[in-house]
Amino acid sequence: MKSTFRRWKSWVGPTATAAVTVSLVVAMSVADATGAAAATKKHATASKGAVVTMAEGAQGTPNNIMPFVSGANNSLANTNLQEQMWPTLYTIGTASNVNAINRPMSLADPPVYSNGDTQVSVTLKPYKWSDGSSLTARDVTFFMNILKANKTSWAHYTPGDMPTNVVSWTTKGTSTVIFKLNRAYNPTWFTDDELAYIVPMPQHAWDKQSATGPVGTYDLTTAGAKAVYNFLNTQGENTATYGSNPLWQVVDGAWKIKQYTSNGFVALVPNTSYSGPDKPKIAKFEEEPFTSSTAEFNALLGGNLDIGYVPLNDLAERSRVTGAGFHVVRSELVAVNMMSLNYYSPVVGPLVKQLYIRKALNDVMDQPAQISAILHHAGGYVDFGPIPTVPKTPYMAAIQKKSPFDISAARKLLTSHGWKIPANGAAKCVRPGTGPKDCGAGIPKGKTLTFSLVYVSGSGYLTATMENYKSDASKAGIVVNLSQQPFNSIVGDICGTPTCDSPGWQIANWGAGFSWNFGSPYPVGSTMFEGHVGLDYPVPKKLASLITATETASGSKTAAAMKAYDTWVIKNDPEVWQIETYTLNAVTNKLKGVTFYPVTGNVFPQDFTVK
């Protein structure tokens, strides 16, 4: 999630390093829903003074503006809004090279590694804050000090990784920060998955403990840094003051927030002091919220959006989109998609801790059939493990390329471990115990294979895939009871604790809105499986060591380390893998300069011009 999914970038992702994603949550609905806040007038009518309107994903609205993201607020809607105003230190990926640092969009020159890759020097470019103050190394150390004191509140924190793996950070002059590491790390991983998540924050304006208190150097002590974080986070949750709070007017990105409404509508205007190479060329950039993708699609076809998305359940309607004056562009994220299992649930925890049950849950997911029947071979692709299938990668092990779908194999796994499968209904444990042919620890006699599965509402394709999953699971004696919730409700319910281990849920499907967008072309598994932003899987030492190897291996050893990690995860199935979707973006033909960047799928609206 790390995405813009990191985790919710994700959504989708969970991921990521600059700008607003065009489809914050690819949520599709077959039926119209009421309450959609569709745009009511056409935009993009003139290059100077133009207002460009883009669709937010169904139900994917911001709820925290402060760019130090907590696990509970780590959604694409939040991180992508934040990164318009407070870019991350590095933007990874260009329009033509997924692996490259995007130099023009990054706040610093490429990092310089030394002392056997145990020291990193980062030099900032001569940017200015919108109040005229210079962006300095102190703004980077301010973020790091806040992180050190509040690391478990950070969505991207993984035990052992940043800030734990950084021995010290010091300034050299006004523009350079020197990071001393606790060991040698793969520079690609440390740049893409550590440095790229640092968000320089305006120490001269934000180092405060209250709205009326003075700016100080509180971040230099642990207690002070905690107080500053609590103040900023509380202010960030107050959506009613987004457009008026002076804190959020001090930005170094291309945009400043002008307006935010309770339904999630956002209006951004150019930061006239922006120091970047590509100054905004339009007068305003608006994000329109929708309660369903059907409402979004109607607004798109009606000419009330400049950038939107074609819902996956409307793939056959692409000719209507082009006929309405749009061109369709497919964007692909470096992402994987899965359903989370709650190992901490007192009801199903003992079940999902059994490898054979996890394998059975994966064996009844027919991804190839879903791609064919539901997505018409055009809206997505299969995903059988933790290494993204798209774009092409050297890191995927051969074992991940084969579909596990096999209902007979699932039935055999269950019956060989002490379960009796009736003609209809849930299998029952008839042989309790911990032997190799028994049901397993904590599973009493008579326990049924029944799960509650909550998934994101407002999504036609997701409903169809879940109904398909429920049907195939029932053929193996696995009963899946489906329910739907809005995206933010699922996030709040499941990550209602700092460790995302709320006991009430059992299986959660965040849909394409939660597909794990790595925000990096180097898809290591640290944040996916370790720490409070992980998938709640109790990580064994073997997996931890394999993940560490992917972070420290370099050169010719990198691909081998990634494949070893991939193989272990596939063999142990910690989650239920599911199809990944493309984002089919619709862009008005009147608009130029819209590029969907390969790592995140994001756009940079400062590049937009209107014909």
**pLDDT tens, position by position, 392-411:** 888 999 999 999 999 999 99
Check whether 53 has a pLDDT greater than 60. Answer: yes
Of the listed ranges 283-292, 300-309, 327-336, 471-480, the one predicted with least confidence: 327-336
Domain carrying residue 296: 20-86+251-332
Average the pLDDT over 553-575 and give the result: 93
- State mean pLDDT over 219-233: 98
Check whether 532 has a pLDDT greater than 50.
Answer: no
Does residue 205 fall inside a structural domain? no
- Bond preceding residue 391 cis, omega within 30 of 0: yes
Q: Both tokens of residue 505?
A: 């849920």
**CA nearest neighbour of 266 among 398, 85, 428:** 85
Highest mean pLDDT: which range of 48-52, 219-223, 308-312, 317-321 = 219-223
CATH number at 322 reads 3.40.190.10
Across the chain, mean pLDDT equals 86
Tokens 């905690």 — which residue? 226
Answer with the residue of higher pLDDT: 329 or 21: 329
Whether 28 is in a domain gets the answer: yes
Output the pLDDT for position 500: 62
Residue corresponding to tokens 């930005």: 251
Q: Let me know: does 83 contact 100? Beta carbons within 8 Å.
A: no
For the ranges 71-80, 130-139, 206-215, the lowest mean pLDDT is seen at 71-80
Q: Are 338 and 535 in contact (CB under 8 A)?
A: yes
Q: What are phi and psi of 192, to 5 degrees?
A: -75, -35
Rounded to whole angstroms, the Cα distance separating 72 from 81 reads 16
Predicted confidence at residue 501, as pLDDT, reads: 65
The DSSP 8-state label assigned to residue 556 in this structure reads T
The reported pLDDT for the residue numbered 554 is 83
Is 340 among the domain residues?
A: no
Confirm whether 490 is domain-assigned: no
Q: Which amino acid is at 177?
A: V
Residues 6+ apart with CB under 8 A from 487: 11, 25, 27, 59, 60, 75, 456, 510, 511, 513, 514
Percent of the chain with pLDDT strictly greater than 90: 63
Q: Please give the average per-residue pLDDT across 474-478, as a whole number.
A: 98
Count of structural domains, the chain: 1
Grade residue 498 by pLDDT with cuts at 50, 70 and 90. Answer: low
C-alpha closest to that of 551 among 194, 111, 231, 170: 194
Cβ atoms 488, 56 nearer than 8 A: no
Residue 268's alpha-carbon distances to 70, 253, 307, in angstroms, are 23, 11, 15
Give the three-state DSSP class for 71.
helix
pLDDT at position 59 is 60
Is 57 a member of any domain? yes
Q: Name the residue with higher pLDDT: 6 or 384.
A: 384
Distances (CA, A) of 156 to 30, 162, 206, 500: 35, 9, 21, 13
∠ CA 538-542-546, rounded to 5°? 105
pLDDT at 48: 59
Please compute the mean of the pLDDT values over residues 124-131 and round it to a whole number.
98
Residue 70 has a pLDDT of 82
For the cut 90, the answer to whether the pLDDT of residue 28 exceeds it is: no
Selected residue with higher pLDDT from 128 and 522 = 128
Average pLDDT over residues 510-515: 62
Q: How many CB atoms lie within 10 A of CB 563?
A: 19
Say what the pLDDT of residue 54 is. Answer: 93
Among 283-287, 330-334, 393-397, 449-453, where is mean pLDDT lowest? 330-334
Report, as an integer, the average pLDDT of 141-151: 98
Contact 298, 274 (CB under 8 A): no
**Does residue 68 surpass a pLDDT of 50?**
yes
Helices and strands in the chain: count of H runs, count of E runs: 16, 26
424 belongs to a structural domain: no
The whole-number average pLDDT for the span 2-17 is 29
pLDDT band at 536 (very low <50, low <70, confident <90, very high): low
Residue 284 maps to a domain: yes
Q: Which of 15-29, 304-318, 428-442, 569-583 has the lowest mean pLDDT?
A: 15-29
- Distance between CA atoms of residues 603 and 84, nearest Å: 10
> Considering the domain boundaries, does residue 260 fall inside one?
yes
Cα separation values, 408 from 385, 411, 422, 475, 596, Å: 21, 5, 14, 9, 42
Specify the DSSP element, H or E, that contains 43: none
- pLDDT at 404 (0 to 100): 96
Instruction: Inform me whether the pLDDT recorded for 143 exceeds 50.
Output: yes
Residue range 39-43: average pLDDT? 49
Instruction: Please say if the pLDDT value at position 151 is more than 60.
Output: yes
Of the listed ranges 6-15, 34-43, 424-433, 517-526, the least confidently predicted one is: 6-15
In the predicted structure, residue 8 carries a pLDDT above the cut 50: no
Q: What does the pLDDT average to over 226-238?
A: 96
pLDDT in tens, 75-120: 777 888 898 999 999 998 877 777 789 999 999 999 999 999 999 9
pLDDT of residue 156: 83
Instruction: Tell me the pLDDT band of 19, cut-offs 50, 70 and 90.
Output: very low
Q: Is the pLDDT of residue 11 over 60?
A: no
